[in-house]
Amino acid sequence: MSDLDNKPSKQILDPAFSNVIKLPDSPSEKPYLIGKRCCNCGQFTIGKKIVCPRCYSEDFEERPLSRRGTLYSYSISRVTPFGFDAPLVLGLVDLPEGLRIWSQIEVGSGESLEIGMDLEMIVGRTRIDEGNNEILGFKFKPIRS
């Protein structure tokens, strides 16, 4: 590959999300986030958790999280770190399980965001790495009605 070739060379699932995203096994399925439900009190969490943030139990079971959430808040960065497309929209998304998670928000051109709007989880490019690979992670995008 020449240095002038700007096309991404390959797609890689971000290792930081490898235990958080369940990719579909077939085209008819959709990806989802893997949550952890506390076996003691029912509190949901996501990511590497050693203890439940509510009751300090260490007993968890994995559960699929809802693919839909609502937009709690967001910010738009017009200057971004290396590898990230600008503008970069980061939002806090409320899930029905009682979780509020950070996520990139994919906004189409001409599309605007509103607090409280419905969002859908997708897997897509979050950034490009130093090797010009597309790094995939989870994002949320507005549900077009």
Q: By the criterion CB under 5 A, which residues form the site for Zn ion?
A: 38, 40-41, 43, 52, 54-55, 57
Shortest approach of Zn ion to residue 69 CB, angstroms?
21
Measured CA to CA, the distance from residue 125 to residue 131 in angstroms comes to 14
Closer of 43 and 103 to Zn ion (Cβ) = 43
Q: Which two tokens stand for residue 118?
A: 């419905």
Separation of CA 108 from chain center: 17
Shortest approach of Zn ion to residue 63 CB, angstroms?
13
Shortest approach of Zn ion to residue 57 CB, angstroms?
4
Shortest approach of Zn ion to residue 55 CB, angstroms?
3
Residue 133 DSSP code: P
Closer of 57 and 80 to Zn ion (Cβ) = 57
N residues, the chain:
145
Closer of 21 and 38 to Zn ion (Cβ) = 38
CB 66 within 8 A of CB 98: no
Strand partners, 37: 44, 61
Q: Of 68, 76, 77, 55, nearest to 99 (Cα)?
A: 68
Closer of 22 and 54 to Zn ion (Cβ) = 54
Strand partners, 30: none
